[in-house]
Amino acid sequence: AQKVTQAQTEISVVEKEDVTLDCVYETRDTTYYLFWYKQPPSGELVFLIRRNSFDEQNEISGRYSWNFQKSTSSFNFTITASQVVDSAVYFCALSEAYSNYQLIWGAGTKLIIKP
Amino acid sequence: DAGITQSPRYKITETGRQVTLMCHQTWSHSYMFWYRQDLGHGLRLIYYSAAADITDKGEVPDGYVVSRSKTENFPLTLESATRSQTSVYFCASSVSGGAVGELFFGEGSRLTVL
């Protein structure tokens, strides 16, 4: 069974639209970490955020925001006023004690921002 | 510049040949990782290393060999390449154990096995 599900394979929006990337996870642990990484067309993965399971506060960083809800096992990522430079593949990942804290990755969501 | 570098960036080889992908980091991070990325699978961990001379299997280790004689280097060897090993390979490093900390990735090595 998928432990990290990114159901949206590809999303295409017009520049300046808001867009939300979904991430649903499964874990038995009470202590775990959730991550988002960005993979631009150049290929190198870039860390965006880490969240631990005890901190459900939403986080905002500029145009980026993350909504962590344990009740629905979701860690969604929203880009406000999207820009062409946001075009990339975005990965959600889970780290848990049960898996020796090795990252378990979702399949990724390809985000296309059209000018 | 400091960072994590992979070589070669692109490699074409034939079935049965041995291939080594190199990874070098300048941060002295304890942990290093090798992932492969295939369409629809996200990233899958091949091997990781907690320190020099300490390595462990990940999710998909079969057909791969690693070594880590020095903290900064973590080569990945395909002893007898198969077509199913055609993929993009990413090396990463991290300060802290497992994946609690941020991973820093190389640019990737695209391997094609004919």
Is the confidence at residue A77, as pLDDT, over 90? Answer: yes
pLDDT score of A46: 93
Do B38 and B27 contact (CB within 8 A), yes or no?
no
CB pairs under 8 A between A and B: 54
Is the confidence at residue A97, as pLDDT, over 80? Answer: no
pLDDT score of A83: 96
Determine the residue among A10, A54, A102 to mutate to test chain B binding: the one whose Cβ has the most chain B Cβ atoms within 10 Å. A102
Q: Is B102 on the interface with A (CB under 8 A)?
A: yes
Which of chain A's residues have a Cβ under 8 Å away from the Cβ of B107?
A: 42-44
As given in the structure block, the two tokens for residue B34 are 């090798």
Burial of A72 (0-12, 13-18, 19+ CB in 10 A): exposed
Determine the residue among B6, B38, B59, B102 to mutate to test chain A binding: the one whose Cβ has the most chain A Cβ atoms within 10 Å. B102
DSSP type of residue B25 = E
Least confidently predicted of A9-18, A102-111, B38-47: B38-47
Do A85 and A79 contact (CB within 8 A), yes or no?
no
As given in the structure block, the two tokens for residue A33 are 């970490």
pLDDT score of A56: 84
Is the confidence at residue A114, as pLDDT, over 90? Answer: yes
CB-based contacts of A20: which residues, under 8 Å, 6+ apart? Answer: A76, A77, A78, A79
B46-90 tens-digit pLDDT: 999 989 999 999 989 999 999 999 999 999 999 999 999 999 999
**Nearest 5°: phi and psi at A70?**
-65, -30
Closest by Cα among B27, B37, B64, B26 to B48: B64
